[in-house]
Structure 1
Amino acid sequence: MRFQTLLAVAGLGSFPLTHAATGKSFTGWDCCKPGCAWQANLRNVQGSPKVCDINNNGLPNALSAKSGCDGGTGYLCDAYVPTPVSDSLSYGFATMGGAANCCKCFLVTWKSGNASGKQMLVQAVNNFEPAGDVKIGDIVILTPGGGNGPNETGCRSQYGKNWGQSGGGVSSGSECANLPQNLQGGCYWRYNWARGAINKWDIEYQQVTCPSRLTSISGCSA
């Protein structure tokens, strides 16, 4: 009943599109152009993920723009920060394994950690190849201050620095004050809403119909 209630609140109807999968949650924010914003990764997708310039203005040539991580003009938009809508539900965007999930939406339920029982509607706008602790079925929530992984140059190029450790990012809510003001809310989200680091917490997730609240930001759907 809780699952159907949250779907109704989100305007998604009562039924998921797939059976539940399991994995672990992680955080990341490398400021690079989203991996799903390349033509080769857009299969059966309407539109393409929004890409921004260094000042977070949308780029009209998103698909052809070179990533800021490679000396180009394309960066991760600050509009992709996570947003709580209640104590038990948030909206946001994510990085998922491979390109098959690009622009699809998922209802994520935490099964362990301080966010156990809480849910989040995410849209995949980025992709990764499994490495280290992050496996193919895991989900990396796009979270400012959440760690830049192997991409050291993106945030340094856009904002002049990286924050925290490359894996995991900042280690406390107080460190969120070191981020640019436009990213601080998304950083605090992790500690105020999820009440912890999120990394390696158990999750269950199911594909659902994308809500307009997410597609109006990303510009794509699948």
Structure 2
Amino acid sequence: MRFQTLLAVIGLGSLPVSHAISGKSFTGWDCCKPGCAWSANLARGVQGVPKVCDINNNPLTNALNIQSGCASGGTGYLCDLYIPTPVSNELSYGFATMTAANCCKCFQLTWKSGAAAGKQMVVQIVNNLEPSGDVKANDIVILTPGGGNGPNESGCRNQYGRNWGQNNGGVASSADCANLPQNLQGGCYWRYNWARGAINQWNIDYTQVACPARLTSISGCSA
């Protein structure tokens, strides 16, 4: 099924199309409070604040003033609601990390290489990054349980008692997803069952699109 037909089926309607940007996809899940839930990262025009959860994945109020669970004494964590979800064999929804200027915006990405080549995903940005190492300014880090905690090793350890896999890249196989808490396992299996591989450093093209209600109803923000 072609993407425009998929949009009609899921009720997304016609999306604004802009010039495609090329980059690479990565995975990450550090359990920390989403970076877009800090006032310094919310640009003018953003409505709402990305949801922040307590240690038991219950949404918290007054998210802007809550300290991240990655810090000593912090109580704000990444909600398990942010796991990626397949809509069909060719389309998924999810959330992602990009530079702060993109907080709460949505992007439609198409994989151009790797086992997911030709597949598409609509993501909303709820976390921010500073490009470093293999991750460049035009890349998108998809929030994926077991996808690697990057430099923030304390978040998942504080919330769940441990990290999974390598800091960069995360778990190495579908079998390793069984080591994650049950509420996160579906998001981990998504990478291997739907995307059919590690995802990291696969080429993508993407454009900004209107955010579907299915994503904004989870995040609580839009731009």
Q: Shorter-normalised TM-score: what interval?
A: over 0.9
Alignment of 1:5-20 (within 5 A): 5-20=5-20
* 2:179 counterpart residue number: 178
Residues 76-133 of structure 1: CA deviation (Å, up to 9, x unaligned): 0000000001100111000012x11000011111000000000011000001000000
Q: Secondary structure of the equivalent of 1:36? A: helix
C-alpha distance in 1 between matches for 2:125 and 2:8: 21
1:154-205 Cα deviation digits (max 9, x unpaired): 0000000000000000000000000000000000000000000000000011
Q: Which residue does the alignment assign to 2:77? A: 75
Match in the other structure for 1:27:
27
Match for residue 188 of structure 1? Answer: 189
Residue of 72, 88, 91 corresponding to 1:89:
91
Take 1:63 and 1:190, find their aligned partners in 2: how far apart are those partners? 30
Q: Secondary structure at the match of 2:109?
A: strand
Q: 1:42 aligns to what?
A: 42
Cα distance between partner residues in 2 of 1:63 and 1:166: 27
The RMSD of aligned alpha carbons is: 1.1
Pairwise mapping of residues 46-125 of structure 1 onto structure 2 (< 5 A)? 46-71=47-72, 72-97=74-99, 99-125=100-126
Q: Which runs of 5+ in 2 are unaligned?
A: none
Corresponding position: 1:156 with 2:161: no
Q: State the identity as a percent.
A: 79
Distance in structure 2 (CA, Å) of the matches to 1:22 and 1:5: 24
Contact 1:4 1:15 in 2 (8 A): no
| Number of equivalences | 221
TM-score, normalised via structure 2 length: 0.96
Query: How far off is 1:17 after superposition?
Result: 4.3
**Aligned position for 2:136:** 135
Separation of aligned partners in 1, 2:161 and 2:169: 19
Superposed displacement of residue 2, structure 1: 2.8
Query: In 2, distance between residues paired with 1:10 and 1:53?
Result: 31
Instruction: Give the CA deviation at 1:41.
Output: 1.1
Q: Gaps spanning 5+ residues in structure 1: where?
A: none
Deviations 1:52-92 (A, max 9, x none): 00000001121100000112000000000000011001110
Q: Which amino acid aligns with 2:32?
A: C
